[in-house]
Structure 1
């Protein structure tokens, strides 16, 4: 009888416990699987760290080449390149460069190229020579180009043929500093610029000796990636060999395998394209479908043509895809995973509804930062999920932040105050040996600005992410805004991303870039939005007025609207704000149509020079 009773309990437990866990802790099994993957990645990383001679990303590429010599590695336009071809071509580039009198193994080199196979071949060649590589944005020119080049102390500049004019613009300065300038072309008649492709074609494809990179340690610089910030000159974030080794796991930790085909259309000079698309694929042994640049109209046709299974996104990419005309074959593709960051909740839902059951892996990370999150549970709108073990490995917290003073709130002891669950706070992460912050090359001032001291106790040191976050009761973390983007009006904090989200779900607005502008005689900054109108629509002041009144409290409603033909964005689709903030709402300086919210007429009305003068003189109070 007792045996039957115990058996009944066991059988009941088998059915009841999973049901109870799903009810009381719906994310339990997802958390368990994630922690299992985290442990596997950590063990793999530690085993590689212990290998001698040192094991780097290049060594993983050489392993993949030996294991799958004839497998396609890169498909670009009408050309295909195997792992073996890539290996041999990079050998030829390395041997050609090594024989050049203006270069010696280990010298820093700047790479000035767009998305093309030569970018990948050249980076691998430089890795074989033990040279750190500065990945220059191919869109920068003159002052910005020189600034980025000088940040990394490079002695050689290797540029794509189509960027010849951009190089010529800064050539006198490069020559003055003794820089060797090589152009990926077979002939160049510009004094001071040497053709390089012809030397590469003639060079040997024999392997490079490992001794050329024997000086490299895990702390050695691997690449310099420039932050595409919306203000000021770019900063060169130093990515060391250890950080790059960690990056190998990004795709594999999200279930990507050698059988996957990855669509890389984001810039290779940026973290997403380089570290996730390129470096991540080296770990998995996948095939890369490389695109010169993102094209919303060609995106799905490319995926169908190449049997793509994994795509990347960043910033506004998903919204651009959702803005394309609907087609009957929208769900006719093999894409199973979209990995990236910066998608808004309503676009996320629209993307899934329109393009099918694609797993979206939203994550949070920054080029120079020392903490990251992954939304492995697929909660729409969240950038990740927090848990005890993650926090133990990478100690972080959210602290209260005064947006008006633009600084953390501190208590009587001078320490920061932690935000409560559900409360918005500044994300800061402790700087440790496991989670270091290397900083920016040649820019100690900006590096120091990202360090935050005396956070939870005297003498501690944290990385200041500059991002405002919120953690909900289910331990999902949400991005709220960038510090500096949030502004204060009428004693209330206004989060620009939230207002942008509201504006873009209106019937006639396509894009909205929200920011605060100063008004004489008023405290804080008042809301303004630069917007674009949907194709086939027109700006309807009354409709927009009714929309913002329905969704936003009075202090958060943009008082001014600037109608633009196109939104100015960075190379990674981040909206530009600083220039807009500086131009403010002066109709005498701005060519774009300007409108002002008018509560009496319940509409956005044209902002005239007369109304502007009355605001500036104080005759109109806002």
Structure 2
């Protein structure tokens, strides 16, 4: 009897040791996979029913359950679930007769409580809401607005001046503009706050916000439900005040982008850095070196790195917490999400195909382009207002004739333990200051300058900084000369700060690929070092309000971190 029990215990111990040795992440993987399957099953149930539960539905449920619970803390003021519910009802009442179910309304507002009031109120009327980037201006802003197909725009009082250049165009297009003020600031712009004050706080019929299928658009973003938690919201991020705010409001979880964590690490060290209740950070773009320094400085905080995009059909999550990885995969995960890493030609800027015309898999540890199969389980719905851009993100005949994959535009590597690490971004976008920069858009803006004949925009790495800084190789028209002050004024007016090229490289001609695309690879590789580049280089100097010659001393101050970019 005892020998049988001893043998059983020995077997269990051996199995446990074998699992720890050969499958060290089995338990965590199994737990994570169970959650994925549970949420997937819930989505399938939603697909088969006529009613889909949205973020607003969950918010309304919570407002009824815990009306007096703090929902939002903003600039020292607490807003309860019930208060925000009533305020969003007032918004819905104001717009009840102005919009109909299925309409799209654009929202241009900074971080503030009424951002949520307006968003939720419009959703209660069955409208899709398009969040416009508050950093963009002029033509870029008008382009984003027209892409979402909205006929009504709500703008924050602090952002009304950003419409100065495009307001005539909006009014010419028949767009109705509402501003978060108590009085109308100018002809053709309606005031919203005074109308909200007059409106009833009673809810509109729930049928108005009914979402009948998962394909129904409820939100457009130009670059999960509520759980009963409290959110601390700041108008703008402050590295010097971050930990003070966390301690003041007993914050336990925060959301980040990699750049945010770097800013925190760059702050002077103080004695009570680990004196807080934060135990988790959720976000993306956290560099390995910054990750290690962040944990060393601020304590044992679990950083949950995620990978995904609004329009994409694939996501990863580093549920293990391995430093430097954006996610983890395994056999079962690959059964659910069909993705592949394929060989990519950096010079031709396209996937490598074999003699049969199909893409080639990379080996473990090799860097490849991340593709995600488009199927019923993981559909790709495309971009609002741009069929051409949607088609551009689809690769066809990848492994067999007729298949289709979503091209993420990201180079990844998967190691022997199935951890996935981000390597670089390719194609027509790069990231700088936590924002996506569209090279085609910047190129178009530069092309409006009278002395620029042609431009090729790309991103270059700057030591000590996340992502890539904007750089443009340009050809100056034969009869003109380069004017740094004029170019500075132009990009300042037309582009948000993160999209303005920091460096300009003058060239006699732009190199092209064999398929007649602008060649970026060699330009990216050569960077912005004036000692290795014979052509004239210029640097965006905000003090001089001009693009000034990039000298060796300026270059050294940038790479050493002495000059902030």
CA contact (8 A) 1:130 1:216 kept: no
Aligned to 1:427: 370
CA contact (8 A) 1:485 1:515 kept: no
CA contact (8 A) 1:363 1:373 kept: yes
The alpha-carbon distance between structure 1 residues 517 and 124, as it changes in their structure 2 partners (threshold 3 A), is closer
- Could you tell me which of 129, 132, 136 is aligned with 2:132? 136
- Could you tell me which of 299, 322, 325 is aligned with 1:382? 325
Aligned to 1:14: 12
The alpha-carbon distance between structure 1 residues 111 and 333, as it changes in their structure 2 partners (threshold 3 A), is same
CA contact (8 A) 1:98 1:105 kept: no
- Could you tell me which of 186, 190, 193 is aligned with 1:197? 193
Aligned to 1:543: none
Q: CA deviation at 1:216?
A: 4.7
| 402-411 vs 104-113, which moves further | 104-113
Match of 1:137, SS? Answer: coil
CA contact (8 A) 2:100 2:127 kept: no
The alpha-carbon distance between structure 1 residues 125 and 401, as it changes in their structure 2 partners (threshold 3 A), is same
Q: CA deviation at 1:579?
A: 5.8
Alignment of 1:190-589 (within 5 A): 190-214=186-210, 216-227=212-223, 248=224, 279=225, 282=226, 284-484=227-427, 503-504=463-464, 513=468, 576=499, 580=503, 586-587=535-536, 589=538
- The separation in 2 between residues aligned to 1:21 and 1:462, in whole angstroms, is 35
- The separation in 2 between residues aligned to 1:577 and 1:6, in whole angstroms, is 74
Q: TM-score, normalised by structure 1?
A: 0.72
| 403-412 vs 142-151, which moves further | 142-151
Q: CA deviation at 1:324?
A: 0.3
Q: CA deviation at 1:48?
A: 3.9
Match of 1:125, SS? Answer: helix
CA contact (8 A) 1:112 1:136 kept: yes
Alignment of 1:14-53 (within 5 A): 14-53=12-51
Q: CA deviation at 1:210?
A: 2.4
The alpha-carbon distance between structure 1 residues 576 and 154, as it changes in their structure 2 partners (threshold 3 A), is closer
- The separation in 2 between residues aligned to 1:588 and 1:58, in whole angstroms, is 51
CA contact (8 A) 2:538 2:549 kept: no
Q: CA deviation at 1:592?
A: 5.6
| 141-150 vs 190-199, which moves further | 141-150
Match of 2:413, SS? Answer: strand
1:512-553 CA-to-partner distances (Å, cap 9, x unmatched) read: 847898799xxxxxxxxxxxxxxxxxxxxxxxxxxxxxxxxx
CA contact (8 A) 1:364 1:384 kept: yes
Aligned to 2:158: 162
Aligned to 2:93: 95
1:487-530 CA-to-partner distances (Å, cap 9, x unmatched) read: 9xxxxxxx989x75xx43xxxxx77847898799xxxxxxxxxx
- The separation in 2 between residues aligned to 1:496 and 1:137, in whole angstroms, is 21
The alpha-carbon distance between structure 1 residues 431 and 44, as it changes in their structure 2 partners (threshold 3 A), is same
Q: CA deviation at 1:11?
A: 1.4
Structure 2 stretches lacking a partner, 5+ long: 431-457, 476-494, 507-527, 540-547, 559-565
Q: CA deviation at 1:121?
A: 0.8
Match of 1:368, SS? Answer: coil
- The separation in 1 between residues aligned to 2:30 and 2:501, in whole angstroms, is 44
| 584-593 vs 169-178, which moves further | 584-593
CA contact (8 A) 1:481 1:496 kept: no
- The separation in 2 between residues aligned to 1:62 and 1:604, in whole angstroms, is 56
CA contact (8 A) 1:403 1:484 kept: no
- The separation in 2 between residues aligned to 1:215 and 1:194, in whole angstroms, is 29
Q: CA deviation at 1:486?
A: 12
The alpha-carbon distance between structure 1 residues 11 and 135, as it changes in their structure 2 partners (threshold 3 A), is same
The alpha-carbon distance between structure 1 residues 67 and 189, as it changes in their structure 2 partners (threshold 3 A), is closer
Match of 2:12, SS? Answer: helix
Q: TM-score, normalised by structure 2?
A: 0.79
